[in-house]
Chains A and B, each alone.
Chain A
């Protein structure tokens, strides 16, 4: 299609690099593009669509990276350092190499290995327990494991620090040459806040902590590097960004980037942790190059816990004051973000609240722990938990309904609408009138909390929609499906545009030889990809209409409609396949680009939770959770409900069970497995009510992966307080903590 030369306009869009979202300004065409039309007038979109990859996944046929098997493939394993801080004095791989079946060994001491080095001695250093120091490839996984244990490493053990409190002390072992405290930003006037706080009628001061938690993707990080020497390679990757793979892999393999194809057919969860090939991908490439054979290197579960990232912990010292009428007047927030050797992340306070006078200071505290990575709504649950606990405390102290109190301090009417809706769904009036009140040891309570996210897209997706002469339709783009339903909505957009059924369209994704696409981070995928798919589908339809017009009595192309598998104009209609027969042998290929007006950014999100606390054991049983989410145009209501459920459940896990436990003395993680790192299972499930806020008038696509996770992490603790009258400011609320707090506050 020939496009008119157009005006340009500048807009800000999110871009995700290594899972960290930043806003960048881009220039886009300022033209009337295609539109979605009213949200309630779609034939496929905004309906309950079954996942198109469902049948192959439920039957075990879908091939994930972990499942890739190529001829002569070797299995690789990684050796981790047991020390939190050490210098590698020597690393002897001879014995490992002599084991029958071992084909290649690489290590941190190899020439050119990407390993941190001691500034003075140039020896490789270990900065956290679990850091990879070597890897082996062998004919079976069992032999590879033997080889690991035959590698001899001599370490000079150095002093370490893994507790934030210890890292702040004078003389603490240094994680970074410049010290362990790294100021991030400051905003506001602390003196004015302090002055205002003295005038407030009600003041709450508290320290709020969230632990380091893990992504715990069921499929671990890893790759199958299919390279046998020669001039081309295919890298199967469990990644959130197909296009984050070829460049890194090519560099390590010594090939031009164009010679490396990344394949991501299906992937078993990422949640923000899977961008680029990482140390494990580099090791896989090096092993493959050395052995001249394909290498399968998927992390073990313990590897995954120890060096594949986590959500940074937080330690926030907040002090806020309000007046008895329910207005929050001032807030002072000292926000420590605990990201180990990385920076961590934390949304700045006062988060979503409109507080006339607030000051915040964010500081990263470094420790000898694996660096944090982006994790589903990076920085938000930490900030949300602290402020939403504090706000709850203020409401109770003033004696005001916590929902009304929130509404009073949130200007945005969408929050008011969503709070009312959530309150209705959960039965807010059933909450415990007196926290901790009621007879018997089992006490129920209800709490709520509020969150926000961006969710807009960017202009990186290039989609091709092709229509073949036999009537088959394909949408192709290199993007990836993390389990969010990307494949399904790609198909639905194209099928709806062409008036076809879901099974009449196929999609090709997860391959770097296809059209470019952004990495899936920050809930940017749908809002980036869906507009490009729509654009391609519209162009394909118009191109098709031109071809079909002569068959329909010379109708004008723009008058031709596509519906129910037929192509119509005026009184005449043709079945799809018959119309396709008029196409040239090459069929039609239409190329779609991002159209900014088809997406939007900025969502809210409200969660209500009901729990039952056994005050004689400290056990918390989730009863019911409701999450209300605005999202513009829901592409697929079924998948959307699942994603909202998933957000609530992960957030619930963070509230009640999940935490990385470190031994301060040994410097090691004590729970790097699913037995001791306890994320919720079937018996932890409350009744879950995902509510799509259809009052959102925007006819635009917005990402929803992150916002669904945010508020539950505070709603659940607020419900615990409402039930038993004890405020736990230190997540997770495990029975040991809650029972001791109940005893201390003499609630039992």
Chain B
């Protein structure tokens, strides 16, 4: 069944750092009917790889790019690649990093990396950092501090809505955003709002309690 699995040459084929691939990428910019328009949209690839470039608004980019992001009300500069997710940017590229959003599934299936984009819940593992310029990014750290918890965080502590705590930041951001949209939810609505977040220790019932209590406390 060897032939059914990935071809052996795949490693070579898939490496973006392979020299032949690099030449190919360069050729892309001037090929075909889009050449005229592409000329002004695409930067010179060699230049891109030599150093970092700015990527603001509609300017195209590859290689390492500088971004200015608005995170928790602050402007943060960071250098990443177009493929770098917002989650990886927060955790691995920002200095100092923001590690509240957790990397758990990296596929939009668990909710632990949930942040708010312009106030709305988003999986930061399914958003590219380059795609978040000009958006307000809020992480769990931006919602409250240990000394000054927001209502949801406070209710989580009071109702024991966490055990290992690895899913907790995602639930906190999700519920904090949801209660802004619906300040007085029913249990059914809370469950529905939480369905994109998964906990393995089994804290769901306490999370529901905490969410309802937080809504009441406001």
Contact = CB atoms under 8 A, between A and B. Distances in A.
Contacts of B99: 60, 63-64, 66-67, 69
B136 interface: no
Contacts of B2: 83, 155, 157
A267 B16 CA distance: 35
Nearest to A84: B1
B178 to A, nearest CB: 12
Contact of A69 (B97, B106, B144): B97
Interface stretch (B27-35, B36-44, B51-59, B190-198): B190-198
Contacts of A639: 160, 163
B77 interface: no
Contacts of A11: none
B162 A54 contact: yes
A697 B167 CA distance: 36
A219 interface: yes
Contacts of B146: 55-56, 59, 61
Contacts of A642: 160, 163, 201-203, 206
A195 interface: no
Chain B, interface size category, equals: 35 or more
B107 interface: yes
Given A67-B99, A673-B107, A682-B191, A646 B160 contact: no
Interface string B147-176: 101001100111010111111110010000
A154 B202 contact: no
B217 interface: no
Nearest to B146: A55
Interface in B1-50: 1-2, 4-6, 8, 10-12, 14-18
A704 to B, nearest CB: 13
Contacts of B164: 217-219, 266-269, 482-483
Given A63-B99, A218-B102, A218-B200, A83 B5 contact: yes
Contacts of B202: 642, 645-650
A572 interface: no
A409 interface: no
A666 B4 contact: yes
Contacts of A155: 2
B200 A217 contact: yes
Contact of B200 (A59, A140, A216, A666): A216
B133 interface: no
A440 interface: no
A169 B163 CA distance: 45
A152 interface: yes
Chain B facing A: main interface SS: loop
B5 A666 contact: yes
Given A643-B163, A673-B105, A682-B204, A150 B17 contact: yes
A674 B144 contact: no
Contact of B141 (A55, A60, A215, A650): A60
Interface string A668-697: 100001110001011101011000000000
A475 B145 CA distance: 25
A53 B165 contact: yes
A190 interface: no
Contacts of A271: 200
Interface string A131-157: 000000000111000100111111101
Contact of B168 (A58, A149, A150, A646): A58
Nearest to B139: A60
Given A67-B99, A140-B93, A642-B160, A675 B109 contact: yes
A75 interface: yes
A484 B143 CA distance: 26
Contacts of B106: 300-301
Contacts of B207: 682
Chain A, interface size category, equals: 35 or more
A141 B157 contact: no
A82 B7 CA distance: 11
Nearest to B17: A99
A617 interface: no
Contacts of A688: 205
A641 interface: yes
Given A60-B101, A218-B104, A642-B202, A142 B141 contact: no
Nearest to B140: A60
A37 B100 CA distance: 41
A308 to B, nearest CB: 14
A58 B153 contact: yes
B195 A673 contact: no
A551 to B, nearest CB: 35
A150 B12 contact: yes
B103 A66 contact: yes
Interface string A17-58: 000000000000000000000000000000000110111111
B64 to A, nearest CB: 10
Given A60-B169, A682-B191, A141 B162 contact: no
Nearest to A645: B202
Contact of A219 (B5, B153, B166): B166
Given A142-B84, A219-B164, A685-B204, A675 B107 contact: yes
A121 interface: no
Given A54-B162, A61-B146, A674 B110 contact: yes
Contacts of A153: 11
Nearest to B165: A57
B200 A269 contact: yes
A59 B109 contact: no
A99 B146 CA distance: 42
A325 interface: no
Contact of A641 (B4, B17, B160): B160
B163 A61 contact: no
Contacts of A218: 102, 104, 110, 112, 164, 166-167, 198-200
Contacts of B15: 95, 99, 146, 149-150
Contacts of B18: 95, 150
Given A141-B88, A152-B8, A58 B149 contact: yes
Contacts of B135: none
Interface string A68-98: 0100000100000011000000000001001
A75 B109 contact: no
B98 interface: yes
Contact of A142 (B83, B98, B101, B208): B83
A63 B202 CA distance: 21
A51 B201 contact: no
Interface string A631-659: 00000001101110111111000000000
A218 B201 CA distance: 9
B92 interface: yes
Nearest to A49: B160
Contacts of B191: 682-683, 685
Contact of A674 (B88, B101, B141, B198): B198
A58 B172 contact: yes
Nearest to B190: A682
Interface centre among A151, A269, A668 (most CB of B within 10 A): A269
Given A146-B16, A218-B104, A645 B6 contact: no
A81 to B, nearest CB: 10
A50 B206 CA distance: 12
Interface of B: 1-2, 4-6, 8, 10-12, 14-18, 81, 83-84, 88, 91-93, 96-107, 109-110, 112, 139-141, 143-147, 149, 152-153, 156-158, 160, 162-169, 172, 191-192, 194-195, 197-208
Interface of A: 50-51, 53-64, 66-67, 69, 75, 82-83, 95, 98-100, 140-142, 146, 149-155, 157, 215-220, 266-269, 271, 298, 300-301, 482-485, 638-639, 641-643, 645-650, 665-668, 673-675, 679, 681-683, 685, 687-688
Enumerate the 4 nearest inter-chain pairs by beta-carbon distance, A residue then B residue, closest first: A60-B100, A646-B202, A483-B164, A268-B166
14 contacts: A58-B140, A58-B153, A58-B156, A59-B144, A60-B99, A67-B99, A140-B93, A149-B14, A268-B165, A268-B166, A642-B160, A674-B105, A674-B107, A679-B198
